[in-house]
Amino acid sequence: MTTHGAHCLILPYPSQGHINPMLQFSKRLQSKGVKITIATTKSFLKTMQELTTSVSIEAISDGYDDGGRDQAGSFITRFKEVGSDTLAQLIKKLANSGWPVNCIVYDPFLPWAVEVAKDFGLVSAAFFTQNCAVDNIYYHVHKGVLKLPPTQDDEEILIPGFLCPIESSDVPSFVISPEAARILDMLVNQFSNLDKVDWVLINSFYELEKELRDSIYLLSLLFLCLFYLEVNLLSVHMFLNVLSLIRGFFFS
């Protein structure tokens, strides 16, 4: 029997472009001895081909098990209500089966997953399926630094972390249309619960976004070190040791 050091529950947003990156991440974790369970919706499982993977798959509900979510104007609200309940039921089921969950890695499109994790005392991690540059744009929209859609006067847009301004045509195309407000709300709300998570993971690699990653990393490290210095000087050393362990875990 295979022994596992931890059991990680992966919660992707039920869309192929979101599930694929999290599936690859899950396989990587599994290769390191972590037990993986992917939870996705019953309605999505009906539309996808059988996964040729050893990763366990479990179903939760989005409130539209028999379809109709694309015509539902309140899909996100309904998913939060039903999804939170059925995710909690799944965590209890796995615990009763002898495989208690230690950690939830969730797609930030589903920020309510953090609350479920906290209710069970679980570690939580947000996994952004888009790269740093895109996430950086949406984050600054969320913080009110960047206004979308851009106006005719916005020939150049300054975004913190970017080495040079971008043009309005560089902004993701769908947000230029005012009727995209609902989608934009979901994208910027990805950051609504990040202050409650234990880890933030991004689907990228260093060489792809070196300048941006360096900028974000240095700002984050400075902030965290200053914060920990106020609490306990030893915490800085602990934090740096954790960073070292993460690099060894994923890049060894």
- The single residue of 7, 62, 107, 140 carrying the catalytic annotation is 107
Q: How do 166-167 and 34-41 pair as beta strands?
A: unpaired
166: burial class by Cβ within 10 Å (0-12, 13-18, 19+)? middle
> Of 60, 64, 58, 59, whose CA–CA distance to 78 is shortest?
64
Count of beta carbons in the 10 Å neighbourhood of residue 56: 17
The packing angle between helices 132-142 and 181-188, to 10°, is: 100
Q: How do 123-128 and 56-60 pair as beta strands?
A: unpaired
SS3 216: helix
SS3 105: strand
Identify any residues that bridge with 166 across adjacent strands, giving them in sequence order. 157
- The single residue of 18, 62, 135, 140 carrying the catalytic annotation is 18
Q: Is 18 tagged catalytic? A: yes
Q: Is 4 tagged catalytic? A: no
Q: Is the peptide bond before 178 cis (omega within 30 degrees of 0)?
A: no
- Provide CB contacts within 8 A for 119, sequence distance 6+: 88
Q: Which residues are catalytic?
A: 18, 107
